[in-house]
Chain A
Amino acid sequence: MNVLLRVLSPARRRWALILALALLLAIVVCGLLAPYLAPHDPNLVDFAHKLEGPSSDYPLGTDQLGRCLLSRLLYGTQVSLGLALLIVSSCLVLGLAIGFLAGYAGGIVDSLVMRACDAILAFPSLILAISLIAVWGAGWKQMAVALIIVQTVYYARFVRGLVNQLKQQTYIVAARVSGTSPFRMMSRHIVPNLLPPLLVVVSLEIGWVIMDISALSFVGLGVQAPMAEWGAMINEGKSFIRSHPRLMIAPGAMIFILVALLNVVGDAVGERKGAGSPLRKKAKTSGLLETANKEVSHER
Chain B
Amino acid sequence: MSLLVAERLSKTYHASGWFRRQTAEGSAISNLSFTLEEGTCLGILGESGAGKSTLGRMVLGLLPPDEGRLTFRGEDLYPKGRRTRRSWRRDIQVVFQDSYSAVNPRMTIRQIISEPLRNYERQSAQEERRTVAELLELVGLAADDMLKRPSQMSGGQLQRVNIARAIALKPKLIVLDEPVSSLDMIVQKQILHHLRALKEKYGLSYLLISHDVMAVHYLADRVALLEKGTLVDTVDASEMFESGHPTFRAMMQAAGVE
Contact = CB atoms under 8 A, between A and B. Distances in A.
A193 B151 CA distance: 16
B119 A180 contact: yes
Interface stretch (A1-9, A97-105, A280-288): A280-288
Interface string B85-99: 000011011101010
Interface stretch (B31-39, B101-109, B201-209): B101-109
A177 B92 contact: yes
A188 B107 CA distance: 9
B111 to A, nearest CB: 8
B60 A284 contact: no
Q: Which of B60, B93, B96, B115 has the most CB of A within 10 A?
A: B115
B102 A189 contact: no
Given A180-B119, A279-B150, A279-B151, A175 B104 contact: yes
A283 B119 contact: no
Interface stretch (A165-173, A213-221, A227-235, A267-275): A165-173
A174 B96 contact: yes
Contacts of A284: 101
B101 A179 contact: no
Where chain A touches its partner, the secondary structure class is helix
B68 interface: no
Interface in A155-189: 169-171, 173-181, 184, 188-189
A131 interface: no
Contacts of A170: 96, 98, 101-102
Contacts of A179: 89-90, 116, 119-120, 169
Interface of B: 18, 60-62, 89-90, 92-94, 96, 98, 100-107, 115-116, 119-120, 150-151, 162, 165, 168-169
14 contacts: A169-B101, A175-B104, A175-B115, A176-B62, A177-B61, A177-B92, A177-B93, A178-B115, A178-B116, A180-B119, A189-B104, A277-B105, A279-B100, A283-B100
Closest 6 CB pairs of A and B: A178-B116, A283-B100, A179-B119, A170-B101, A279-B105, A170-B102
